[in-house]
Amino acid sequence: MKAIISQTHPKSQRIKIKIPFEAFDWRIELKKIQCIFYHKPQKQWSVPNTEGNLKRLKVIFGKNFEIINNKGKLAIPAFEMTPHIANQVEAMMTKLVLIGREQSTIMTYRSEILHYFKEFEDKDLKVITKQEIEQYLFRLKDKHHISDSKQNQIINAIKFYQEKVLGLSRTIYDLTRPKKSKTLPGTLTEDEVFRLINQPTNIKHKAMLTILYSGGLRISEVTKLRIEDIKSDDKQIFIKAAKGKKDRYTLLSEETLRLLRTYFIEWRPSYWLFEGATGGQYSVSSIQKVFRKAAINANISPWATPHTLRHSFATHLLQANVNLRYIQQALGHESPDTTQIYTHIVSLNNDVVQSPLDRLLEKRKKETSRHEDETDKNIG
């Protein structure tokens, strides 16, 4: 009995897994993974394409799996961490914590720097040249087909270590980066959002999904909301120390406020707006599970994530002709260029711009109708 793990493309957002029908124990463990989805037509499962999920799949299947892809991509080999590498990792993580980086950033940097430490384990990292680093990145691209985003993450981790931990000059490590792809964010229609946020029967779950959309919040911002951050008199939500350690205010809708009041009476949180079973912050992973269950029941795109609600919030405001500057403030974007991307989604909406094919067919239809009217007059 063997599982097939398929990473079909380096940029693929999800890992696909096919298991034998009789693998009941594997199926139970797979269902515990966040944001898992079953593709009925293909009779296979998929999970978000992260290193953590890949490691978890390997633990579930033990030695009974095979990794395949359509590009001959070889997985970056795992290795046993030596005391020397462990000391370097600890020094880097200490610096990241001291300067106040988010936990997600700390774990990403840790993951991306490990293989670099292994690659140059026998060399003094203070004398590694730009050329050596770029040759290292080339080998990763050529042999393991790492994505552009992963390449950028590795560069960020290396630069941080060299500049902040070793104290080396920034100009020496001005590394070549791949051209940033200009992809449009995925969004949901208003009807899909309505179906999604009304799926949960648990009022706490419904309130979390509603506030994600109605305020355009990031999932981490929802977990950090305090009771005092709901400014009911001003119809605002205060977001403290959001991305970039910046405070901001966003919208508090009347309907969201009514829902939160009902939720508060029923659940009586003590400090955090949404608290876990032990009274601390509700976890990001728990909200992801709530979202995934609601998404499946609402029959919306399996690729949607909680962040899709934030993209939908911005897009729907633009469609309602809300000024881009207000949307930028609500989202907490430092640059208007970041918010500008939503205009590309709206500008291609069929309700705003008519396809030349529709215009052509409409013109032909009018000409045909006019010709028929003239014929009828002549006969009469």
Exposed, middle or buried by CB within 10 Å (0-12, 13-18, 19+), for 107? middle
- Helices and strands: H and E segment counts in the chain: 15, 8
Q: Which of 124, 197, 112 is closest to 158 using CA atoms?
A: 112
Please identify which residue in the block is written with the tokens 């179906």.
Answer: 195
CA dihedral 105, 224, 335, 352 (to 10 degrees): 120
Please identify which residue in the block is written with the tokens 């020496």.
Answer: 172
Catalytic residues: 218, 243, 307, 310, 333, 342
Give the integer Cα–Cα distance in Å for 114 and 84: 11
How many Cβ atoms are within 10 Å of 122's Cβ, its own excluded?
6
- Token pair, residue 290, equals 């709530």
- Token pair, residue 2, equals 């063997």
Give the integer Cα–Cα distance in Å for 81 and 121: 11
HEC profile of 259-280: HHHHHHHHHCCCCECCECCCCC
- Token pair, residue 210, equals 């509603």
Give the integer Cα–Cα distance in Å for 315 and 324: 10
Q: Which of 118, 106, 116, 124 is closest to 155 using CA atoms?
A: 116
